[in-house]
Structure 1
């Protein structure tokens, strides 16, 4: 039966995907936002649900609505939210709505400070390859999937479980709302410094999540992460199946990674110890859903990775330009080590744009100590505008050198100077790794790409 929903803050990456999914399902959707950027804008326009004007309009809220979906971007004093409460219309946060639509499904939640999107993407790729019927929620646009959210009549849903806050009305982590049957946990490394003020407080969120595993449920945990291992080994929940995992056995031959299985060597396009951990976690989830190991190996060979995760932007016989989403200390360290291990004979220029509130905060930045150790050239980019918007102090080169424990670390605060520096480098036997959850001020990479591509 068709229903009518209104989205407050419809322009967000995941919010607009959910709105599009609801339209696809045959529901009537309206929405509002004070700012909508691409690609959300074009996609909402194409679906016929782009708000005519920017801003908030209480008159859009009426008794015929079946529910309001409230985005994290909206404030608690939002006039549309106030009107919805006055009229007694049900208000759902994003995760509450996902659960509301998935009550009758088997729910798989992928959690952890790192690797969530990659593990979720791997599972989706394998299930799709074998024509399985499933719904999903994933935190990035991935190849072969039009939307980041799908809600249908499928019997199972794969959910990337984010620990960040639910909504302006609910300051708990999103992953508490999904009520999982199968839980995977990849690792715990302090993130969201502005929300979880201490590591103990952050870690406790994951402990509470494990405790929500029901009788007959499954907890799949990475035993090479000491904090997750502790949660797994101390888990005494009645009737819960515990499955520890570590990196899938593999070998590297001439810059290519092969999985070592009992039958054969299986080539894969992803690499690095952390990604082979992710792969093993995905394998354990697929097995828990009834898929055969051989079917997993057959499908995973064509998995190219999630967007902006070890993404290759240019390549020649002895140089690669990678872009990666790495934006927290554990992710930076793992990505740098993965590229260096895969190509040990090549020089590695590693560039990190510090972009999140945590990473730009000088009280947190010491958590990045030794994360650049495997890079031959270590570079930091800081956008002064991003720093001032977060009302933080711009750190200098010496502060960052001390924090990263790297005396030769270079700092750039002007995108033009960073661009000139990178374009002046010799890329013979050299890989360039650009890491950030930001966009390097939309730096034009075309000259760098052509410089590396022409070498082939």
Structure 2
């Protein structure tokens, strides 16, 4: 099968391209720019385009399918040529569905927690040598790629993202997977550039629940009021199975999960991660892993990349990096670190980097999110606001939004770095939350801060 990728360099797209190459497909692709790690991974497989740019001459009748990435625009020259030739054009999620039509599709949805839950499930399966197909949004320890597709595996585990499918398909990705087994972890307004109202955003999750194959099942976080409303209001003929945060204790910086066999030390921490674990346990049991085997495997799970990732530690200092940027994630992550390190000063640094977080109207959603931190710092770049063509955000608006009198705000990378490197980190826990890099912060230098 000959498949061409328009915007092959994307995080999701290059992983799918590699997965299909590994399956024996003939893969070509284009992009106007490709950065690492995508560049190195594609190069290693012989899939890196010889030249960057768009080349309509690559689009011919010999192609069986086009996969269109979100990075491409609707007027992309290769896309226009494919439309002219009436070739079959798939979005990323559409193509994944085509590859998994004859499998049991397990889809993990939610505004937060979906990457961690998917990662937990895959870790448990890998630990017990259960081979499954998958697509996950983070690099996992023990896994070479983020997408795996085979002809033989019965299950495919898909992280169900609610963002748009492609430039010409405005449906959320997770509407296209038609799960047999689903999970919904939480609903908290995000992606306001696409879903301008809270009600419109919540509606996407109702559609997701209704898309589950009749006779299928959904496990849902019963502690999230919106999730509970959405799932229980659905008239879809599916099994609805609630889950709750399990009992746990934190003892001297170690989290112990209460199990039928006694207290089990685990590597992950924080109430939100324990809640994620409960959801993952249910899904693993649907996939044939019994409770004891789940606990044995999950005890060795260290977390998904960039999700409360410990990047440095000494006797009395620790540094975490986290992808958290939406209000619900920021609040849960900050609270988790303080709970785990109650006797240390928690320094929480948040970069407002996404379209939603830099929107003046949306800022009020951050009220109280950094309250559990001992020292709270917010960094944002007025230049980034300009690039995103948003209204200017003033420091006073940030201060009013977070409702914290001692909030420290920086607007230049140099000033933020100067603050960070002037700190004494004895008896402190540093939490760096961002989907960016604070205007060019070198995390290797940060690691050296605590020796």
Taking structure 1 as the reference length, the TM-score comes to 0.97
How far apart are 1:41 and its partner, in Å?
A: 1.0
Aligned ranges for residues 255-266 of structure 1 at < 5 Å?
255-266=253-264
Alignment partner, residue 170 of structure 1: 169
- 2:49 is the alignment partner of 1:54: no
Asked if 2 retains the 8 angstrom alpha-carbon contact of 1:325 and 1:436, the reply is yes
DSSP-derived class of the 1:441 partner: coil
Matches of 2:289 and 2:108, distance apart in 1: 17
Matches of 2:43 and 2:381, distance apart in 1: 31
The alignment's C-alpha RMSD in Å is: 1.1
How far apart are 1:406 and its partner, in Å?
A: 1.0
Asked if 1 retains the 8 angstrom alpha-carbon contact of 2:2 and 2:27, the reply is yes
Moved more, 139-148 or 334-343: 139-148
Alignment partner, residue 145 of structure 1: 143
Alignment partner, residue 430 of structure 1: 428
Moved more, 338-347 or 228-237: 228-237
Matches of 1:142 and 1:448, distance apart in 2: 23
DSSP-derived class of the 1:312 partner: strand
Alignment partner, residue 303 of structure 2: 305
Asked if 2 retains the 8 angstrom alpha-carbon contact of 1:380 and 1:410, the reply is yes
Alignment partner, residue 128 of structure 2: 130
Asked if 1 retains the 8 angstrom alpha-carbon contact of 2:210 and 2:235, the reply is no
Q: Name stretches of at least 5 consecutive residues in structure 1 with no aligned partner.
A: none
Alignment partner, residue 281 of structure 2: 283
Deviations 1:237-258 (A, max 9, x none): 32x1111011121111111011
Deviations 1:178-221 (A, max 9, x none): 01001100000000010000000000000111112222201100
Matches of 2:69 and 2:135, distance apart in 1: 15
Matches of 1:182 and 1:397, distance apart in 2: 45
Asked if 2 retains the 8 angstrom alpha-carbon contact of 1:93 and 1:166, the reply is yes
Alignment partner, residue 411 of structure 1: 409
Asked if 2 retains the 8 angstrom alpha-carbon contact of 1:6 and 1:68, the reply is yes
DSSP-derived class of the 2:354 partner: coil
How far apart are 1:72 and its partner, in Å?
A: 0.6
Q: 1:88 aligns with which of 80, 86, 89?
A: 86
Aligned ranges for residues 46-445 of structure 1 at < 5 Å?
46-153=44-151, 154-238=153-237, 240-445=238-443
Asked if 2 retains the 8 angstrom alpha-carbon contact of 1:232 and 1:244, the reply is no
Matches of 2:387 and 2:271, distance apart in 1: 36
Taking structure 2 as the reference length, the TM-score comes to 0.98
Matches of 1:213 and 1:76, distance apart in 2: 30
Asked if 1 retains the 8 angstrom alpha-carbon contact of 2:206 and 2:231, the reply is no
Asked if 1 retains the 8 angstrom alpha-carbon contact of 2:3 and 2:66, the reply is yes
Moved more, 385-394 or 89-98: 385-394
Matches of 1:231 and 1:449, distance apart in 2: 43
DSSP-derived class of the 2:5 partner: strand
How far apart are 1:447 and its partner, in Å?
A: 4.2
Q: 1:5 aligns with which of 3, 6, 16?
A: 3
Asked if 2 retains the 8 angstrom alpha-carbon contact of 1:8 and 1:70, the reply is yes
Asked if 1 retains the 8 angstrom alpha-carbon contact of 2:353 and 2:436, the reply is yes
DSSP-derived class of the 2:385 partner: helix
Matches of 2:364 and 2:373, distance apart in 1: 18
Equivalent pairs, count:
450
How far apart are 1:424 and its partner, in Å?
A: 1.0
Aligned ranges for residues 13-32 of structure 1 at < 5 Å?
13-32=11-30
How far apart are 1:68 and its partner, in Å?
A: 0.2
Asked if 2 retains the 8 angstrom alpha-carbon contact of 1:423 and 1:447, the reply is no
How far apart are 1:34 and its partner, in Å?
A: 0.8
